[in-house]
Amino acid sequence: MSEEVEETRTSEEQQEMEDKVISPEKSEEAKLKARYPNLGAKPGGSEFLRKRLQKGQKYFDSGDYNMAKAKMKNKQLPSAPTEKTEITGGHIPTPQDLPQRKTSIVASKLAG
Partner 1 sequence: RMCPGGDMQWCFSQVKGAIDDDVAEADIISTVEFNHTGELLATGDKGGRVVIFQQEIENKNQPQFRSEYNVYSTFQSHEPEFDYLKSLEIEEKINKIRWLPQKNAAQFLLSTNDKTIKLWKISERDKRPEGYNLKEEDGRYKDPNTITSLRVPVLKPMDLMVEASPRRVFANAHTYHINSVSVNSDNETYLSADDLRINLWHLEITDRSFNIVDIKPANMEELTEVITAAEFHPHQCNTFVYSSSKGTIRLCDMRVSALCDKHSKLFEEPEDPSNRSFFSEIISSISDVKFSHNGRYMMTRDYLSVKIWDLNMENRPVETYQVHEYLRSKLCSLYENDCIFDKFECCWNGNDSVVMTGSYNNFFRMFDRGHRRDVTLEASRENSKPMQVLKPRKVCTGGKRKKDEISVDSLDFNKKILHTAWHPQDNIIAVATTNNLYIFQDKVN
Residue 75 contacts partner 1 per CB under 8 A: no
Cβ-contact 62, 85 below 8 angstroms: no
CA quadruple 25, 26, 28, 29: dihedral sign? positive
Of the candidates 50, 77, 88, 91, which one interacts with partner 1 according to CB under 8 A? 50
Q: Is 91 in the site for partner 1 (CB under 8 A)?
A: no
Residue 93's φ and ψ, nearest 5 degrees, are -65, 140
CB of 94 vs partner 1, minimal distance in Å: 12
SS3 category, 43: coil
Q: Rule CB under 8 A: which residues touch partner 1?
A: 23-29, 31-33, 35, 39, 41, 43-44, 46, 49-50, 52-53, 55-62, 64-65, 99, 101-102, 105-112
